[in-house]
Structure 1
Amino acid sequence: MEFDNGKQNQRCTFRGIKLVSFVALCLILVSPADAFDPLDPTGNVTIRWDIMSWTSDGYMATVTLFNFQLYRNIMNPGWTLGWTWAKKEIIWAMMGAQATEQGDCAKFKLKIPHSCKRSPQVVDLLPGASYNMQYTNCCKGGVLTSWGQDPTGAISAFQMGVGLSGRSNKTVKLPKDFKLLGPGPGYSCGPAKRVPSTVIFTDDHRRKAQALMSWNVTCTYSQFLASKNPSCCVSLSSFYNDQVTACPTCACGCQNNATCVTKDSKILKESDGNNKTRKSDITPKPLLQCTHHLCHVRVHWHIKDNYKDYWRVKIAIINFNYRLNFTQWGLVVQHPNLNNVTQVYSFEYMPLLPYEAINDTGMFYGLKYYNDLLMEAGPKGNVQSEVLMKKDKNTFTLKQGWAFPRRVYFNGDECMLPPPDSYPFLPNSAYSLPKSVTLIKAYVIFASFFIWF
């Protein structure tokens, strides 16, 4: 009897351990500070804070933001960096950025600080800021390209004088509760951590200067935290079948009068009359076109041609937001044949190799000054290109949806794909069609779907 009770207690203990382990695993998986992206496992935004010199009551610091994400840009309205001071620090002056609020500086009589907020929020200066306010890598309106697309555009920096902080490594306390805002929700920042002092080149790149004290803050992105719905969807078509697979219904939410407008809406006509004012808004309110999917962006993948040794895909990206231009957009596609991309006709292309042994993911983005700006919804609200890939004869097939993408991301957010059982199927007579008929059908399918939503 005692033996049975012992076994029962062991079972209860084992169940308890399993339950605790499961709960702990769930907490780890949903922890916003440890967001994990399988296509960019080390991607993050790193904030580096370097104390370059001491002042009478504090220090001069250079703060630098690095967008180390391979394919996720920080777009308009740009980054906003916030934190909470550890003591009663103030910001005397700034170059290359500005605090959004001055706060209560009533106790200062002779010299008024730039900001007295206990939890300041700082934004980048806009392009064209006065020369005496500029700083290296500043004045981009907070817009940062991804590290994979353009490392030179993925850095932003500003300088500030901090007072009432102490003026030694022992008396300076690290700020707390860092927040990366502005580009929208989804970013979570860890605590500031002391790191070896940074060595920085002077402006003429002939001399190295070492920071007196440095710390880093790492911020990661979670699409789950950013929005309960995706922001983009994928539609599919092919030359061998008249069937077009549309975006799933309600892929990015469902229609109602508060979320979208029809093409003949009075609101839309009135906003067109105020085009200049609307485009100059820093944070314009979304004005979505009513569609069955209610997504900001639709990506269309069309299998255009099948040659002996190659096959060709046409990709179109369509914007359904009447008030938002996508600056320096990026499209990421996962497909096993991307390891044999031969030519991309009017997009730039870069393989993404999160795992060196697997080359099945690539990033497409616009040609500079040509189509790197995806315009707002309307006649010009699309960009498109064709991709030629060499066949891997051991794996290539048009059967069972193999030729369609496995994952698609637009501007860092994963797009909703249609269910596989709805993909255009391959008819038995697909290869018996004359080439001329096949090409005509391909153009008709793509053109008709391009104007349909």
Structure 2
Amino acid sequence: MEFESGTQKQKGTFACLKMVALIALCLILISPAESFDPLDPTGNVTIRWDIMSWTSDGYLATVTLFNFQLYRNIMNPGWTLGWTWAKKEIIWAVMGAQATEQGDCAKFKLKIPHSCKRNPQVVDLLPGAPFNMQFTNCCRGGVLTSWGQNPSGAVSAFQIGVGLSGTSNKTVKLPKNFKLLGPGPGYSCGPAKIVPSTAILTDDRRRKMQALMSWNVTCTYSQFLASKNPSCCVSLSSFYSDKVTGCPPCACGCQNNNTCVTKDSKILQENATSPHRKSDITLTPKPLLQCTHHLCHVRVHWHLKDNYKDYWRVKIAIINFNYRLNFTDWSLVVQHPNLNNVTQVYSFEYMPLLPYESINDTGMFYGLKYYNDLLMEAGPKGNVQSEVLMKKDKNTFTLKQGWAFPRRVYFNGDECMLPPPDSYPMLPNSGHKLPTTITLMATYVVFTLFFHLVVTLF
């Protein structure tokens, strides 16, 4: 009996260990580590909440969003910021933004609040908003550029008047459950944390105003949480081969009647002829993809164009397959060991990224302002392209084994699917040797025949 009891204890212990291991695995899969980006390890969107003055039943605060991500923009339809009040707070007024819902404000008779929702959601105002509703760094429709591309366009702010909240640092409770929505899924926000009070410059930048209380919220992006499939893929070609390596089949999903449309679809004709439908698309763009074997929104094509004595040239093209979505202020990040010797980029802007001090193999390409910074929807104008000239590193440069093709490619912050390495266009080594072999064989045959002829005659 004692032996059986010991055996049962061992089984119980083993079962407990299995359960602990399973729980640990689940925590790893859903942990914030999924949002870690090795090319932008500190990238995040920070929300700063600064109380600037107290009111009779609450406070007046400035809320600022900073997109500290090096190469990930927040595109149309822009950011939507949501949270849950800790008590029974209300929003009396907002400048530079607006709540999406007013909620039930029936108990207020004389002055009606802007929003009585317990879990409000706030959006940026559109460009051209009335002057008396504007606030510093507002009114861009929630669109934020990346910090690496344009720091001045990576900041958005609004002013909010909060009531029924308490009127001191001791009575105000921090909002909970912050959510960054709008640009799509993928962002997860941590809890609000009190930080040292912020010193804010006035509009004329001649005086600093000290906040009475400040807290920060940090939101990070995870492509894993955003979508189970990539949104872009990469195709390859080279001057030394007729072979074009296309995007892998079903790289971003597989075709069916619900996921894509053909070029002659009636839906596309209706979009082109109906102004009303066009306006709807502008306000709430929904994917309408062209049917392709890869089913990606965007394809990036890398063409190895020329090989000189000291330099080599690459042509990059970005093609949009979405009939309903333009990409404003797009960005393309490429990782390749020879990007540390970029000599000239012809029609894109270029900025090297330095995630680690000793490595300089990653760079960001983006469009020239007012020229090609807008990637149009699918169609004849739905592409942008440029050429890149790089100086050879004599110690590492080679055309063998696909070395000249990129290691990683990101479009608008999402990693694109590359073809498998064994499908890359390879150097035609056997093809170059073929003429020489044929020549030697022909020479040998001619010489043999001539030798036999001479022997026969003489």
Aligned counterparts, 1:21-40, within 5 A: 23-24=23-24, 27-32=27-32, 35-40=35-40
Report the equivalent of 1:440.
none
**What is the alpha-carbon distance in structure 2 between the residues aligned to residue 276 and residue 207 of structure 1?**
48
| Gapped regions of structure 2 (runs ≥ 5) | 434-458
Superposed, 1:359-438 pairs within 5 Å as 359-428=360-429
Which residue matches 1:69? 69
Deviations 1:107-130 (A, max 9, x none): 000000000000000000000000
Q: Are 1:82 and 1:121, in contact at CA under 8 Å, matched by a contact in 2?
A: yes
How big is each residue's C-alpha offset from its partner over 1:106-157, in whole Å with a ceiling of 9 and x where there is no partner?
A: 0000000000000000000000000000000000000000000000000000
Which amino acid in 1 is paired with 2:309?
K
- 1:374–1:276 Cα change, 3 Å: farther
* Alignment partners' CA distance in 2, 1:34 and 1:60: 36
SS at match of 1:143: coil
Q: Give the residue type in structure 1 aligned to 2:303.
A: H
Deviation string 1:266-315 (CA, Å, 9 cap, x unpaired) is: 11111111257415631122111111111100000000000011100000
Shift, 1:258, TM fit: 1.0
Q: Which residue of 1 aligns with 2:349?
A: 348
Residue in structure 2 matched with residue 443 of structure 1 by the alignment:
none
Which amino acid in structure 1 is aligned with residue 322 of structure 2? N
In structure 2, the partner of 1:43 is 43
Decide whether aligned partners of structure 1 residues 257 and 29 sit closer, same or farther in structure 2, where only a CA change above 3 A counts: closer
With normalisation by structure 2, the TM-score equals 0.90
Q: 1:34-85 CA distances to partner (integer Å, 9 max, x unpaired)?
A: 6211111110000000000000000000000000000000000000000000
Distance 1:342 1:430 in 2: 32
3-state SS of the aligned residue for 2:43? Answer: coil
- Displacement of 1:33 after TM fit? 7.6
| 3-state SS of 1:270 partner | helix
SS in 2 for 1:237: strand
Provide the C-alpha distance between the structure 2 equivalents of 1:167 and 1:323, rounded to a whole number of angstroms: 48
CA contact (8 A) 1:339 1:359 kept: yes
- Measured against aligned partners, the alpha-carbon deviations of 1:352-371 in whole angstroms (never above 9, x if no partner) come to 11111111111000000000
CA distance in 1, matches of 2:207, 2:431: 67
Cα distance, 1:15 vs structure 2: 10
CA distance in 2, matches of 1:244, 1:325: 27
- Partner in structure 2 of residue 164 of structure 1: 164
Q: Is the 8 A contact 1:47 1:63 kept in 2?
A: yes
Rounded to whole Å, the distance in 2 between the matches of 1:112 and 1:275 is 37
- SS of the residue 1:337 aligns to: helix
Give me the whole-angstrom Cα distance separating, in 2, the residues matched to 1:217 and 1:366: 31
Could you tell me which residue of structure 2 aligns to residue 184 of structure 1?
184
Q: How does 1:230-241 map to 2 (within 5 A)?
A: 230-241=230-241
Contact 2:271-2:277 at 8 Å conserved across structures:
no
* CA distance in structure 1 between the partners assigned to 2:431 and 2:145 by the alignment: 43
Partner of 2:273: 273
Contact 1:138–1:158 (CA under 8 A) maintained in structure 2: yes
Identity of aligned pairs, percent? 86
Q: CA deviation at 1:30?
A: 3.0
Give the Cα separation in 2 of the matches to 1:130 and 1:102: 20
1:289–1:322 contact (8 Å) kept in structure 2: yes
How many angstroms does 1:28 deviate by?
Answer: 3.2
Tell me which residue corresponds to 2:286: 285
How has the CA–CA distance of structure 1 residues 431 and 364 changed in structure 2, closer, same or farther, with 3 Å as cutoff? farther
Deviations 1:321-380 (A, max 9, x none): 111000000000011111111100000000111111111111000000000000000000
Larger Rg: 2
- How far apart are 1:390 and its partner, in Å? 0.6
Amino acid at match of 1:416: M
Deviation at 1:164, TM superposition (A): 0.2
Preserved contact between residue 33 and residue 220 of structure 1 (Cα < 8 Å) = no
Partner residue of 1:142? 142
Task: Give the superposition deviation at 1:31.
Answer: 1.5
> In the TM superposition, what is the alpha-carbon distance from 1:9 to its structure 2 partner?
8.8
Amino acid at match of 2:222: S
Task: Tell me which residue corresponds to 1:446.
Answer: none
Matched to 1:357, the amino acid is S
| AA of the residue aligned to 2:383 | N
Within 1, Cα distance between the matches of 2:80 and 2:87? 22
- Alpha carbons 1:34, 1:220 under 8 Å: kept: no
Contact 1:58 / 1:162 at 8 angstroms: preserved in 2?
A: yes
The residue identity in structure 1 corresponding to 2:51 is I
Residue 103 (structure 2) aligns with = 103
Which residue is equivalent to 1:333?
A: 334
TM-superposed CA distance for 1:96, in Å, is 0.2
Letter aligned with residue 264 of structure 1: D
Q: Secondary structure at the match of 1:247?
A: coil
Q: Which residue of 2 aligns with 1:319?
A: 320
| 2:310 maps to 1:309 | yes
Number of residues of Structure 1 aligned to a counterpart in Structure 2:
433
Contact 1:179 1:189 in 2 (8 A): yes
CA contact (8 A) 2:94 2:161 kept: yes
Q: Does 1:224 align with 2:224?
A: yes
1:145 counterpart letter in structure 2: T
Q: 2:46·2:67 contact (CA, 8 Å) conserved in 1?
A: yes
Aligned counterpart, 1:447: none
Q: Work out whether residues 34 and 224 of structure 2, in 8 Å CA contact, stay in contact via their aligned partners in 1.
A: no
Residue 339 of structure 2 aligns with an amino acid whose one-letter code is L
Runs (4 or more) in structure 1 with deviation over 4 Å come to 8-19, 429-432
State the distance in 2 between where 1:338 and 1:79 align: 33
Note if 1:198 corresponds to 2:198: yes
Pick which of 266-275 and 110-119 moved more. Answer: 266-275
Query: Deviations along 1:421-451, whole A, 9 cap, x unmatched?
Result: 000010127889xxxxxxxxxxxxxxxxxxx
Other-structure match for 2:112: 112
How far has the Cα of 1:11 moved from its partner? 12
Q: How many Å apart are 1:20 and its aligned residue? A: 3.7
Distance in 2 between residues matched to 1:393 and 1:387, nearest whole Å: 18
2:440 counterpart residue number: none
**Structure 1, 344-353 or 23-32: larger mean CA deviation:** 23-32
Cα distance in 2 between the residues matched to 1:313 and 1:17: 54
Query: Offset of 1:21 from its aligned partner?
Result: 5.9
